[in-house]
Amino acid sequence: MLLEIGNIRNVASTFSNGQSGTLKIAATHTQSRYALPKYLSEFRSRYDDVEIVLLQAHPREVPTLLLSGECDIGFATDTLDDVPDLLAFPFYSWEHEVIVPEGHPLQGRENVTLQEVAQCPLVTYDQGLTGRKQIDRAFEKLALKPRIAMAAIDSDVIKTYVGLGLGVGIIAGMAYDADNDSGLSKVSLKTRIDSSQTCFALRRGRFRKDYVYRFIEMCAPAVTKEVILQAEALRDEIDGTI
C-alpha cells in the first residue's frame, strides 16, 4: 500500500513537471567516490532542474534503502543479487590491486606471488563486502591463511592505514591513483585475483520519472527503459507462476 501511495504521488508529480524533481541514489563509498562522479556530472549538465541526493551507505544498507523507497537507484558490490523485490543489472567489472607503502620490500617487484603477500599483515575490506569473497577465494585456492591486520568498508581508510605501515593493502583497483596516492605503490601480482562485479538495482513495482531511466542509460547504455520494464514484467510473470 505504501508503495502504491508513493507511485500515485510520483505520477502526479510527473504530470505537473516531469523534468524536475529529485534523483536519490544510494551507493557505497567506493562507488560514490570513484565510479559515479563522471555520470553524476553528466546528468547534472543535462538536468539542471533535478536535485541529486547521494546517500553514501554501508553495502548492506543499500538494499534496505531501495526497498523502503528512500532512494531510486542503488549501487553496490555483492549485496544486491538475489533480493526478490529488486531488479539488479551489471554496472561494471573491476579487479583488486595490492598496494604497499613506499620502502616496503615488495615495492617495485615484478610478478609478486600471493604466497609472498600472505606473509605480510593485510589491510582490506570487511567480510562480505567489496569483493572480499574473491580475495578470500584467491588465498583459499592456494591453501593460504592471510593475517588480517585490519578490515574496513572504506577504500580511503584502507589506504590511510597502509600508508601508516599497518600492512599490505588490497583494495578495489579504481580506488588507487598513482598521481594522487602519494606514499603508496601498486604491486605487480603474478596471479590476479578474480574480477568482481558492481551492480545497480531498482525497487520492483515502483513508478519512475523518465530522468531516472536517462541516468541509468548514462551508466549502462544497454539497460534502457524498455529493458527494465521487460525484466520487471518477466519477474512478475515468474512470481505469478510459483
Report, as an integer, the average pLDDT of 63-88.
94
- The verdict on 113 and 81 lying in the same domain is no
Helix, strand, coil share of the chain (percent; to 5): 40, 25, 35
- The verdict on 37 and 112 lying in the same domain is no
- The verdict on 88 and 100 lying in the same domain is no
The band of 122, judged by pLDDT with boundaries at 50, 70 and 90, is very high
Range of the domain at 40: 2-93+197-241
For residue 202, give the CATH number of its domain. 3.40.190.10
The band of 215, judged by pLDDT with boundaries at 50, 70 and 90, is very high
- The verdict on 103 and 172 lying in the same domain is yes
Long-range CB contact pairs, 162-166, < 8 A, 24+: 162/99, 162/100, 162/101, 162/123, 163/101, 164/101, 165/101, 166/121, 166/123
Judged against a pLDDT cut of 60, whether residue 17 lies above it is answered with no
Domain count, the chain: 2
- The verdict on 158 and 217 lying in the same domain is no
- Percentage of the residues of the chain whose pLDDT score is greater than 90: 83
Q: Which helix (H) or strand (E) holds 237?
A: helix 225-241
Nearest C-alpha neighbor of 40 from the set 53, 28, 58, 29: 53
- The verdict on 188 and 100 lying in the same domain is yes
Which pLDDT score, from 0 to 100, does residue 31 have? 95
- The verdict on 59 and 108 lying in the same domain is no
Which pLDDT score, from 0 to 100, does residue 241 have? 61
Which pLDDT score, from 0 to 100, does residue 242 have? 55
- The verdict on 135 and 218 lying in the same domain is no
- The verdict on 164 and 184 lying in the same domain is yes
Give buried/exposed letters for 86-108 (b at 16+ CB in 10 A, else e). bbbbebeebebbbbbbeebebee
- The verdict on 85 and 164 lying in the same domain is no
Report, as an integer, the average pLDDT of 217-240.
92
Which pLDDT score, from 0 to 100, does residue 7 have? 45
- The verdict on 153 and 223 lying in the same domain is no
Which pLDDT score, from 0 to 100, does residue 81 have? 86
Which pLDDT score, from 0 to 100, does residue 11 have? 47
- The verdict on 73 and 123 lying in the same domain is no
> Using one digit for the tens of pLDDT, what is the confidence trace for 148-168?
999 999 999 999 999 999 999
Long-range CB contact pairs, 158-161, < 8 A, 24+: 158/123, 158/124, 158/125, 159/99, 159/184, 161/123
